[in-house]
Chains A and B, each alone.
Chain A
């Protein structure tokens, strides 16, 4: 089973994005991490890694993020996993909201990772 992980500086951004996606894809598994431990804006590495660890146990994970630190934190969390599990993590630079919706619909439709990533290509931004 493919799951989706949404990362942002802001808890509200990922909560809202998940709401939008679930409206059309209620069956998709969507995990979110947004904001820091103390509830302010920022990325939370420990929470990101813990969430990712849980999701990869079940299969492939597609990770979408918004800006700088959320994205870099996602990369570092993926690199912190065992090499075998890293292969299940697919970091994608698609726009968070549009990409989140597209991925969720594809996941709910039971599509495989490759097909989902291909659809996301259209929404990829230059985030470097």
Chain B
């Protein structure tokens, strides 16, 4: 896997399209345990990201991530703004001067992003959040990368795991964010943030085929 900056932009634009396509589903998940705006907030944020990336094409992968992160922070409105914004911003710092992203680089960026999200949201795995998808995905990519699995297969594995882990958030009692106010009543519902993270990983996997 070696993805040029312009291709990274294509990936982000495709994520924007997938989020737009699934915004009602994401908001419906959020309506069950939150304030019901996750999909629409994310769609608004990624629409702004797509516009920004088209207006000022980034010179490096790091810039593509950072521009995306900053635009999400400014346009989302809900908690996913600071959280996904931080994910992309930290990933951007990690990929600062990189022009071509490989699997190792992606893993470093994702790791940096996750560390940022954890610091921002004070969450760990098992709290019914996006981290319940992202942390296992990172571990899976790391393991496959070390084992010399091809990038395409590594993402295929990651995408399947993402789906499983997103669905598994049904069984978790929320202890973070708006859903935490529901306590036990949050059981039985998929976390919308976990699902939007799952969609992003699946989108990357599909584009790599």
CB distance from A119 to the nearest CB of B (A): 25
A41 at the interface (CB under 8 A from B): yes
Partner of A69, one of B82, B86, B122, B176: B82
**Which of B73-81, B106-114, B161-169, B195-203 forms contacts with chain A?**
B73-81
A24 at the interface (CB under 8 A from B): no
> Closest 9 interchain pairs by CB?
A42-B77, A72-B82, A69-B79, A128-B122, A36-B77, A68-B79, A45-B73, A45-B74, A69-B78
Partner of A43, one of B35, B81, B120, B176: B81
Q: How far is the CA of A46 from the CA of B81 in the complex (A)?
A: 12
With both beta carbons as reference points, the residue of chain A lying nearest to B41 in the complex is identified as A42
B74 lies within 8 A of A41 (CB): no
CB distance from B8 to the nearest CB of A (A): 23
Q: How many contacts A-B (CB < 8 Å)? A: 49
Size class of the contact patch on chain A: 10 to 19
Q: How far is the CA of A72 from the CA of B121 in the complex (A)?
A: 8
With both beta carbons as reference points, the residue of chain B lying nearest to A68 in the complex is identified as B79
Given A75-B82, A75-B120: A43 touches B77 (CB 8 Å cut-off): yes
Q: How far is the CA of A42 from the CA of B77 in the complex (A)?
A: 5
Q: How far is the CA of A29 from the CA of B9 in the complex (A)?
A: 44
Q: Is the interface of B mostly helix, strand, loop or mixed?
A: helix
CB distance from A54 to the nearest CB of B (A): 18
Q: How far is the CA of A128 from the CA of B176 in the complex (A)?
A: 7
Interface centre among A46, A76, A128 (most CB of B within 10 A): A76
| Contacting residues, chain A, for B82 (C-beta < 8 A) | 43, 45, 69, 72-73, 75-76
Which residue numbers of A lie inside 8 Å of B, CB to CB? Answer: 36, 40-46, 67-69, 72-73, 75-76, 128
A46 lies within 8 A of B77 (CB): no
| Contacting residues, chain B, for A42 (C-beta < 8 A) | 37, 41, 76-78, 81
Given A42-B41, A72-B120: A67 touches B83 (CB 8 Å cut-off): no
B177 at the interface (CB under 8 A from A): yes
B62 at the interface (CB under 8 A from A): no
Interface centre among B74, B120, B177 (most CB of A within 10 A): B74
A69 lies within 8 A of B73 (CB): no
Q: How far is the CA of A41 from the CA of B67 in the complex (A)?
A: 24
B74 lies within 8 A of A72 (CB): no
B81 lies within 8 A of A67 (CB): no
- B residues 48-100 near A (Cβ < 8 Å) are 73-74, 76-83, 85-86
A76 lies within 8 A of B85 (CB): yes
B185 at the interface (CB under 8 A from A): no
Partner of A76, one of B73, B78, B122, B178: B73
